[in-house]
């Protein structure tokens, strides 16, 4: 090929631009996903939850959660005589194998699935001494396994008890809102496998997401609003006895 000086001069800026991309490193695994376009949360409709434990099993299969530890779990509440200050709560093996028949069918009985609330002002990220846990720009509270020391500050700081130390890696672990799925346009494993649609992933920055209509037309609550964590897991028909 006969390269003239004129061609070389034209090619140089192009090579410069290309080199800039080489320096920038490999692009993210989901090229069409823009962090700034999303703000993730979840909607849990308690009137639809049947306590089957599908979400717990799906979460453990999807995220290799060790036995006896939970990124999501289901609690069963039993409230007698409308004494909402003293509910009886059980969650055998996190509800993974479903629930045995209720001991007392009187009063109020209902299920409450729980998971990380992906707080917009999360106490757990504020206490991390090394910058291993953080709120991603799209509103998901994540843990960087490479940076985590396993100091347990965050486990203690979470008001919802959503974190644990993985006994294999000795690092903090929690619900990632199936970050590897939602960045690919899929829903979370728990929402995908919820047979009644009680759990729904919600993108609060997407104006077409049904969450907006739902929040407008229902009485929706978050857990422990007094903690001012600005939780983004919204519960429909939440009973006052739920802690």
Contacts with other proteins, residue ranges (CB under 8 A): 28-30, 33, 35, 47-54, 58, 61-63, 76-78, 98-99, 101-102, 105, 109-111, 131-137, 142, 144-147, 176, 179-181, 183-184, 186-187, 189, 192-197
Contacting residues for 164 by C-beta, under 8 A, at least 6 apart: 69, 70, 155, 172, 173, 174
If the CB atoms of residues 181 and 224 are measured against other proteins, the closer one turns out to be: 181
E strand intervals along the chain: 40-45, 72-79, 88-90, 108-115, 133-135, 141-143, 164-165, 172-173, 199-203, 220-221, 233-236
CB of 73 to other proteins, least distance (A): 15
Among 99, 136, 144, which residue's Cα sits nearest to residue 120?
136
Cβ closer to other proteins: 13 or 27? 27
Closer residue to other proteins, CB minimum distance, 3 or 82: 82
d(CA 96, CA 15): 56
Helices (H), 40-103: 54-63
Per the CB < 8 A criterion, the answer to whether 234 and 220 are in contact is yes
Q: Minimum distance between the CB of residue 34 and other proteins, rounded to whole angstroms?
A: 12
Is the Cβ of residue 7 or residue 34 nearer to other proteins in the bound state?
Answer: 34
Read off the tokens for 228.
């001012």
Closer to other proteins at the Cβ: 136 or 206?
A: 136
Cα gap 172→176, rounded to integer Å: 12
Q: To the nearest whole angstrom, how small is the minimum distance from the Cβ of residue 22 to other proteins?
A: 14
**Nearer to other proteins (CB atom), residue 156 or residue 196:** 196
Shortest Cβ 14–other proteins spacing (Å): 25
| Residue 13: CB minimum distance to other proteins, A | 25
Helices (H) and strands (E) in the chain, counts: 7, 11
Least distance CB 3 / other proteins (angstroms): 35
> Quick check: 77 and 110 in contact, CB under 8 A?
yes
């Amino acid at each position: 090929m006969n390269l003239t000086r004129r061609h070389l001069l034209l090619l140089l800026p192009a090579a410069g631009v290309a080199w800039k991309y080489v320096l920038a490193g490999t692009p993210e695994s989901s090229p069409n996903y823009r962090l700034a376009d999303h703000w993730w949360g979840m909607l849990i409709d308690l009137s639809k939850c049947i306590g089957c434990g599908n979400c717990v099993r799906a979460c453990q299969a999807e995220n290799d959660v060790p036995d006896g530890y939970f990124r999501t779990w289901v609690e069963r509440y039993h409230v007698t005589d409308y004494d909402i200050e003293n509910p009886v709560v059980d969650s055998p093996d996190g509800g993974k194998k479903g629930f045995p028949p209720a001991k007392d069918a009187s009063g109020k009985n209902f299920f409450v699935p729980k998971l990380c609330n992906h707080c917009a002002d999360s106490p757990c990220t504020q206490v991390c001494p090394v910058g291993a846990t953080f709120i991603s720009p799209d509103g998901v509270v994540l843990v960087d396994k490479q940076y985590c020391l396993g100091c347990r500050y965050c486990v203690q700081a979470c008001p919802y008890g959503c974190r644990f130390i993985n006994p294999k890696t000795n690092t903090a672990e929690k619900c990632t809102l199936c970050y590897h799925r939602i960045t690919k346009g899929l829903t979370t494993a728990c929402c995908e496998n919820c047979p009644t649609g009680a759990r729904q992933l919600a993108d609060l920055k997407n104006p077409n997401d049904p969450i907006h209509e739902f929040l407008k037309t229902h009485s929706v609550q978050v857990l422990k609003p007094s903690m001012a964590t600005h939780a983004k897991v919204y519960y429909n028909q939440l009973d006052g006895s739920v802690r």
